Amino acid sequence: MLMRLQSKNKSSTSLDDLKSRLPLEANLMIKRSSTRNKWSNHLKGAASEARKNIRVYSLYRSAMATSRIEAWPGSYCDTKKSCCYPTTGKPPSDFGIHGLWPNYKDGSYPSNCDPNNSYDQSKISDLISRMQQDWATLACPSNSGSTFWSHEWDKHGTCSESVLDQHSYFRAALNLKSKIDLLQILQSAGINPDGGFYSLSSIKSTISNAIGYTPYIECNVDEDGNSQLYQIYVCVDSSGSNLIECPVFPRGKCGSSIEFPSF
């Protein structure tokens, strides 16, 4: 209202002149309106602040970290479901790669990001013998591993394809496995896959002392209902090569003392 009065009379009369000629009620209305404008500006400011925060949140959410998961084959097999060895033979008694999963920093993750870039084994033929050793499948029925690798690429790998193409994705996972020998780290602290029980805190601290970052330990349950060491998660940056502190950890529960079954 104040603005309308100003623009209508701008050429001949000043605003104060005009106000002085108005009845008291009209001036009160102008005052209320001006207070409302202040509030409206305040609200506009708050809205813009909120929009800014949403942008910051989206940036935060879209910034990627990558979880790298290794599984203990003994714990995959030692369940009610059991397991099948791959057609290429029993995998080594060592942690095997499960996958490299791009994650948002809030813990959620994208999946199946590009149906036009399906798994193509001819792009990684030079890596297959390493994959058979370090990324063996234990799912039934027995197969060579390509079903597992193709699932990992299609579901997870395609979501970081702008940084890691198929060859770089599988190579990054294999190189991390060579760089961080989780079994050796645990064994050098007397934590062996011998069917014994070890404290969860000693497993965690042994790994974090060795690699400098906190791992996440996932447990599953064996046929007798014992909590056992199943998977170990560490986080890497989006290039897939440098360890970082995990922005968040998955939810899950292990016992305070967990079994490390043999394989």
Nearer to ligand 5GP, 8 or 81 (CB): 81
Using DSSP bridges, classify how beta strands 96-104 and 243-244 pair: parallel, antiparallel or unpaired: unpaired
Residues 214, 247 contacting (CB under 8 angstroms): no
Among residues 53, 46, 132, 22, the alpha carbon closest in space to that of 86 is found at 132
Residues 166, 119 contacting (CB under 8 angstroms): yes
Q: Taking CB under 6 A as the rule, does residue 137 contact ligand 5GP?
A: yes
Q: Report the nearest approach of ligand 5GP to the CB of residue 153 (Å).
A: 10
The question of whether 42 is a catalytic residue gets the answer no
Q: Which of residues 154-183 bind ligand 5GP (CB under 6 A)?
A: 155
Q: Which amino acid is at 240?
A: G
The question of whether 98 is a catalytic residue gets the answer yes
Q: Which of residues 63-82 bind ligand 5GP (CB under 6 A)?
A: 71, 76
Q: Which amino acid is at 228?
A: Q
Q: Taking CB under 6 A as the rule, does residue 94 contact ligand 5GP?
A: no
Binding-site member from 70, 78, 152, 218 for ligand 5GP (CB under 6 A): 152
CB within 8 Å of 36: residues ≥ 6 apart: none
| Interface segment toward ligand 5GP; rule CB under 6 A; list 15-23, 150-158, 218-226, 255-263 | 150-158
CB within 8 Å of 186: residues ≥ 6 apart: 192, 203, 206, 207, 260
State the catalytic residue, choosing from 98, 167, 245, 259: 98
Among residues 42, 9, 16, the alpha carbon closest in space to that of 30 is found at 16
Using DSSP bridges, classify how beta strands 196-199 and 257-260 pair: parallel, antiparallel or unpaired: antiparallel
By beta carbon distance, the residue nearest ligand 5GP is: 139
The question of whether 223 is a catalytic residue gets the answer no
Q: Taking CB under 6 A as the rule, does residue 98 contact ligand 5GP?
A: yes
> Cis link prior to 141 (omega < 30° from 0)?
yes
Instruction: Tell me the two tokens of residue 18.
Output: 């005009």
Q: Taking CB under 6 A as the rule, does residue 131 contact ligand 5GP?
A: no
Binding-site member from 148, 153, 169, 233 for ligand 5GP (CB under 6 A): 148
| Interface segment toward ligand 5GP; rule CB under 6 A; list 134-142, 179-187, 205-213, 246-254 | 134-142
Q: Taking CB under 6 A as the rule, does residue 221 contact ligand 5GP?
A: no
Q: Which stretch of DSSP H or E encloses residue 115? A: none
Nearer to ligand 5GP, 71 or 176 (CB): 71
Residues 77, 263 contacting (CB under 8 angstroms): yes
Nearer to ligand 5GP, 19 or 155 (CB): 155
Question: Alpha-carbon torsion 154, 155, 159, 160, what sign?
Answer: negative
Return the active site residues.
98, 152, 156
**Binding residues for ligand 5GP (CB under 6 A):** 71, 76, 98-99, 137-139, 148, 151-152, 155
